[in-house]
Amino acid sequence: MDFSIDGGIGVFQIDDGKANAVSHSLIDFMMNGLDQAEANAAAVVLLGRPGVFSAGFDLKEIAKGPEEGARLVNRGARLLHRLFGFPMPVVAGCTGHAIAAGGFLLLASDTRIGTQGDFRLGLNETAIGMVLPVFGFELAANRIPAAFQTAAVVQAKLFTPQDAVHAGFLDQAVDPEMLQKTCLEHAAALCEMPTEVYGRQKREMRKGALARIHASLE
């Protein structure tokens, strides 16, 4: 795991050496990095490890029991809520598979660039017997086109990177060697916009969804 700021862009290198599970340590790492970015940057970029962006919540933590699982999911929801309303551009570089909470990290980001390859992106909660929390429905309704919502949310369809562009998880899919460069170029271009206005426009446009997610966390 690494976070650095260069040229006004805060870059997260998310790599736990495994599946990049959304664990307590990953949440702490990202929250701390977002604090630094909010004080010292004008945009942020999220990059996964080669082959996987994130495989979802840490199943070892969830297996400890309902209380432990709920605590992790609620903390993850707070991270997603913060990303979704973050007061500056958020660019995600999807380096491979993005499942469940990994898919929600993409939906919570503003611009999503994926790597082409034999990867799957989407929300598998129905397939594993889980009803989405409020944040899941809100992010899906806000970012997934209506024509894909039943397949993506209800039927747990997983998409190739190219199909994920149409389904709302990605904005673009590029060759692997171009991913980081493309993400940084998008972030640099977005840095040219007035940051305060960008953040206000984003929060106003997503105000209803942000309020409903926030209310579900109280």
Local confidence pLDDT in tens for the 218 residues of the chain: 899 999 999 999 999 999 999 999 999 999 999 999 999 999 999 999 999 999 999 888 888 988 998 999 999 999 999 999 999 999 999 999 999 999 999 999 999 999 999 999 999 999 999 999 999 999 999 999 999 999 999 999 999 999 999 999 999 999 999 999 999 999 999 999 999 999 999 999 999 999 999 999 97
40: domain CATH number?
Answer: 3.90.226.10
Do residues 109 and 46 make contact, with C-beta atoms less than 8 angstroms apart? yes
| CA neighbor of 161 nearest in space, from 69, 65, 83, 96 | 96
Single-letter code of the amino acid located at 135? F
Burial 171-204, CB ≥16 within 10 A → b, else e: bebbeeeebbebbbebbbebbeeebeebbeebee
Do residues 31 and 82 make contact, with C-beta atoms less than 8 angstroms apart? yes
Domain count, the chain: 1
Do residues 190 and 198 make contact, with C-beta atoms less than 8 angstroms apart? yes
Q: What is the pTM of this model?
A: 0.96
Determine the Cα angle at 86 with ends 85 and 87, to 5°. 110
| Helix residue ranges, H only, 41-167 | 59-62, 66-84, 101-108, 134-143, 146-149, 161-167
Task: Give the domain range for residue 8.
Answer: 2-217
